[in-house]
Amino acid sequence: MNRSVTGPQGFLAAGYASGVKVSGKPDLGLLVCPTGATAAAVFTTNKIVSAAVQINREHMARRKTYAVVVNSGNANACTGKLGLANARKMCATTARYLGVEPDEVLVASTGIIGHQLPMDRVTQGIADAASLLSGLQTGGLAFARAIMTTDTKLKQAYRELDLARARVRLAGTVKGAGMIGPNLATTLLFITTDAAISKPLLGRALKEAIGDSLNRLTVDGHQSTNDTAILLASGLAGNARITGPSTSYRRFVKALVDLCTDLVRQMALDAEGATRMFKVIIKGAATKADATRAARAIADYPLFKCAVHGGDPNWGRIICAVGSSGADLNPDRLSCKLDDLYVFRHGAPTNFDPKEASRIVSQQEHTITVNLGVGRCEDFYYGCDLSAEYVRINADYHT
Amino acid sequence: MNRSVTGPQGFLAAGYASGVKVSGKPDLGLLVCPTGATAAAVFTTNKIVSAAVQINREHMARRKTYAVVVNSGNANACTGKLGLANARKMCATTARYLGVEPDEVLVASTGIIGHQLPMDRVTQGIADAASLLSGLQTGGLAFARAIMTTDTKLKQAYRELDLARARVRLAGTVKGAGMIGPNLATTLLFITTDAAISKPLLGRALKEAIGDSLNRLTVDGHQSTNDTAILLASGLAGNARITGPSTSYRRFVKALVDLCTDLVRQMALDAEGATRMFKVIIKGAATKADATRAARAIADYPLFKCAVHGGDPNWGRIICAVGSSGADLNPDRLSCKLDDLYVFRHGAPTNFDPKEASRIVSQQEHTITVNLGVGRCEDFYYGCDLSAEYVRINADYHT
């Protein structure tokens, strides 16, 4: 069974090594919907954005999108007018091979900032990739491989659901291993679905899904200039077209959240140097914003991330991060659980079994639940450990 | 010449190994002003505070302070009512040896959170330290040594100035190597001076000085439950007592800022695993808050800190951090200098010499200046590199 981005009906994909990466690894991907897809997209909120993000904001105005062209190895960011012209040229070249308009193509780039794209290689690469387009799993896998940078594992996820007797498929692939703050970070995410759904509802579904998945993951707390999530819907599944917030819409969003959360877990575990991931749940907060702030403070706290790396149930660092987050809390009612084990309750450490606590923290994934003891709001965050390997990767990566 | 905390006239100090630290290293310090000092203090803004911080907030109401008792190796935080009673007992025991009232003594603790102090050792330690009190340099050095935890170097600074023909001395010692966010973090700072100055003016001077020094240093972006800065003024220098915002006051504050900045540099270079430090200056910001936010975003950014560790002039990470900080900026007018070398100007990288840029970033200290191109406000931050050693120290430190 094809669980790649060519799994949903109506999609072709390809990947090719064009030579943008000096390593000779695949660096150019094409994802195509020959019948024209309804598209939704979310971009970085960084105030410095790549050429691709600027171009896509224009191109999203079109009713139909036929393709996405992606290069890895060069971010085409901080590259001025020439960078913008090059991003436009990537769309125009792709459009020419497919017989569509340039603004019916979206573009994404990831890699180093501040260098111009070697356009001769990119243009030739698009031609070569176009000749390799395939609706089989091989095409989807080649595309997923072409978007990787420091990722050590290919990441994809697949979901199916029945909407009024029509089988609807969703598939996604994502790249992102470092520079992962909430609001996407250095993430390129591409999702395909054969659901029939209107453009406004598709946009809303993508925002909802990302809000509960990618926007709740932090690796190093920053977002890049290039972060892009694109969702293409071919509409070929035969379901009654979703045009309002119906039960079908809710079920579609649920499957989409589930798919994105699957990808988030893969990203956290493949984060640069990461060996473990965790989920932080904040309960009993006065406001949702306080819950978010406290959850993120823990997930981003280098000392806590180091403790997780060492398998140390260091509740002191959790309490310290919560206290310094600015979130309202009641020191006498504060509690903290590692999975189901209370390590802190009523403002003081419990008599917990340190071996059991170490076992929990040493798992590939564990959950930290903190109750602030002042209200009823909650939120969560995903994070990963901080290892010496993270430093090595990022100190040795030279510009 | 005695440049320790017993350098200014009117101070005695001692340090002793009481056995709180299992390593057998010094862990109990006494700093005494037998004639009674005017005191100023600044505490952590963490919502969870140690017993010592709670007690000090009460004791600062007294007109005179005769001593500060400090233990390292145990933070006496998250220790409930017994912890509070123990902190009170530390003050009372010290007061008994000096013949003063318990609330004329301040207390500070640093070390592991959530464990009760071994009070038999602490009480005996105070007695032993009291018998060792000395106004010589040996006393000041012993005190400075007793407050250290993961610090690898003893940190002290000394300044002198003449106020209307009277020679005024200031000396400070600080501990803090990890968990250093702005607003003090796991910092214990003790400053002595023989200046004659009123209590309100002394408090204002300390706040001003810390605002421009310790509050502008970030190592891992968090503050602990115990952060404390205490400034004791014996008034024995013979200067005309400072009671208003006079020229003498301004000159006193300037010397205090200078002293604190000296200590901040020592802290940054001795931060856990750090090998280099840097100063980030933001100019051209629309508001001071924007300048602060952008400066801190760079100084706290793990990827940038890793790049500094690797000696890599990675301006892309600087631009990325600034763009994602939320500060208002003009992408077309943005510029970035490493020391005096422009690496980014008018929104694009310059043709800088990469060898010269690497040389700058590989210094023990360098300055990053970013102009946001939208206003006239500025601010700065100090930071240090992030090394694999930081992770090792904090992953191996078990609770």
Interface of A with B in 136-155 (CB under 8 A): none
Q: What is the pLDDT of residue B398?
A: 60
Q: What are phi and psi of A198, to 5 degrees?
A: -70, 160
Predicted confidence (pLDDT) at residue B185 exceeds the cutoff of 50 = no
Cα distance between residue A234 and residue A340, in whole Å: 44
| Residue A185, pLDDT score | 45
Residues B18 and B93 grouped into a single domain: yes
Integer Cα distance of B217 and B368 in angstroms: 15
User: What are the CA-CA distances from residue A151 to residues A68, A111, A392, A393, B231 (Å)?
Assistant: 21, 12, 15, 12, 51
Q: Any idea how long chain A is?
A: 399
Residue A367: give its domain's CATH number: 3.10.20.340
| Residue A217 and residue A182 in contact, taking contact as beta carbons nearer than 8 Å | yes
Residues A95 and A238 in one domain: yes
Q: Is residue B281 domain-shared with residue B265, that is, in the same domain?
A: no
Same domain, A304 and A240: no
Per residue in A314-351, pLDDT tens? 898 899 899 989 999 999 999 999 999 999 999 889 99
What mean pLDDT do residues A186-202 have? 94
Q: Contacts of residue A182 in chain B, CB cutoff 8 Å?
A: none
| Three-class secondary structure of residue B310 per DSSP | coil
Residue ending a domain, among A269, A286, A320, is: A269
List, for residues B257-308, the tens digit of each pLDDT value: 999 999 999 998 888 888 999 999 999 999 999 999 999 999 988 889 999 9
| CA dist A274 → A100, A193, A265 (Å) | 42, 31, 12
Q: What is the number of domains present in chain A?
A: 2
Query: Within this chain, do residues B190 and B307 fall inside the same structural domain, yes or no?
Result: no
Domain boundary among the residues A246, A269, A292 is at A269
- Pick from B306, B324, B386: CB nearest A223: B324
Choose among B19, B117, B14, B25: nearest CA to B67.
B14
Q: How confident is the model at residue B399 (pLDDT cuts 50, 70, 90)?
A: low
Residues B284 and B265 in one domain: no
Query: What tokens does B84 get?
Result: 């509070």
Q: Do A298 and A362 reside in the same domain of the chain?
A: yes
- Summarised one tens digit per residue, pLDDT across range A126-138 is 999 999 999 999 9
- Alpha carbon A360 to its chain centroid, in Å, reads 27
Residue B378 has pLDDT above 60, yes or no: yes
Domain finish residue from A249, A269, A289: A269
pLDDT in tens, A56-101: 999 999 999 999 999 999 999 989 999 999 999 999 999 999 999 9
Is B370:B336 a contact under the CB 8 Å cutoff?
yes
Mean pLDDT, chain B, integer: 92
Pairing of strands B377-384, B277-285: antiparallel
Average pLDDT over residues A131-154: 95
- Domain that includes residue B348, residue range: 277-396
Banded pLDDT at B214 (limits 50, 70, 90) = confident
3-state secondary structure of A4: coil
Do B31 and B175 share a domain, yes or no?
yes
Alpha helices by DSSP H, A273-387 = 288-300, 302-309, 315-323, 354-361
Query: Are the beta carbons of A46 and B327 closer than 8 angstroms?
Result: no
Residue A19 in this model has a pLDDT that exceeds 50:
yes
Residue B4 lies in a domain: no
> Within an 8 Å CB–CB cutoff, is residue B286 touching chain A?
no
A34: Cβ–Cβ under 8 A, 6 or more apart, which residues?
A10, A12, A66, A98
Do B68 and B196 fall into the same domain? yes
Is A186 an annotated catalytic residue? yes
Chain A environment of B330 (Cβ under 8 Å):
none
Q: In terms of DSSP bridges, do strands B228-233 and B188-193 run parallel, antiparallel, or are they unpaired?
A: parallel
Span A346-378, pLDDT tens digits: 988 999 999 999 999 999 999 999 999 999 999
8 Å CB contact of A316 and B178: no
Please name the residues in contact with A139: beta carbons below 8 A apart, sequence gap of 6 or more. A4, A6, A12, A13, A14, A132, A133
DSSP string, B112-167: ESS----HHHHHHHHHHHHHH-BSSHHHHHHHHHHT-SS-SS--EEEEEEEETTEE
Q: Write down the pLDDT at residue A320.
A: 87
Interface test with chain A among B224, B226, B324, B346, by most A beta carbons within 10 Å: B324
